[in-house]
Amino acid sequence: MKNMFFALVGVCLITHIIRLVYELLKHRKLIIPCKVSFVIILIDMLLLWTSWFALCSLDVYRIYLVSGIRYFGLFLVVSGVIIFLTALFTIKTLESYEGELIIGGIYSKIRHPMYLGFILWLLGFPVFCGALFSFLLSFLFIANVLFWRHLEEKELEKRFPSYLEYKKTTVF
């Protein structure tokens, strides 16, 4: 079990690094998103999410948390999934959106609901599982997600003249 846990830590780290490199290359215009890159990143993200949930479940460093705190973690996960899916069904894509700036629905309140949803389940699932190492590791992964968000903000500011005004009326 310990070997599987550390293998999953490695998978999570590698998948985050792959996504980070992709975001940097995309930001620097060294890669142009296309169907192939979409499939690669989709597989990477599915592997990342699957390995994250397995990692938390198998965490060898456990901490006892009272039920109320554990279920608050579950609440964060469910909230994150709902926010993520609401955003996904609003924008109808995970990559290469070419339309106008979306400011309706969930995007009228939250600029990056998919990233927010991702962060909520990164925090919530280790709390629900009482997974100490995974909880600590989540802060590294959250920093990575916030960096992706930063790169996307820069791109959106260039692409949409109204983005700076939109930022003033929304959070995250």
Instruction: Give the pLDDT confidence of 48-106 residue by residue, as tens digits.
Output: 999 999 999 999 999 999 999 999 999 999 999 999 999 999 887 766 667 889 999 99
Yes or no: say if 25 and 79 are a contact pair by the CB < 8 Å rule: no
Domain limits of the chain? 2-168
DSSP string, 86-142: HHHHHH--SS---SSPP-SGGGGTBS-HHHHHHHHHHHHHHHHHTBHHHHHHHHHHH
Q: What is the pTM of this model?
A: 0.92
Best CATH choice for the domain 2-168 from the list 2.160.10.10, 1.20.120.1630, 3.40.50.1220, 3.10.250.10: 1.20.120.1630
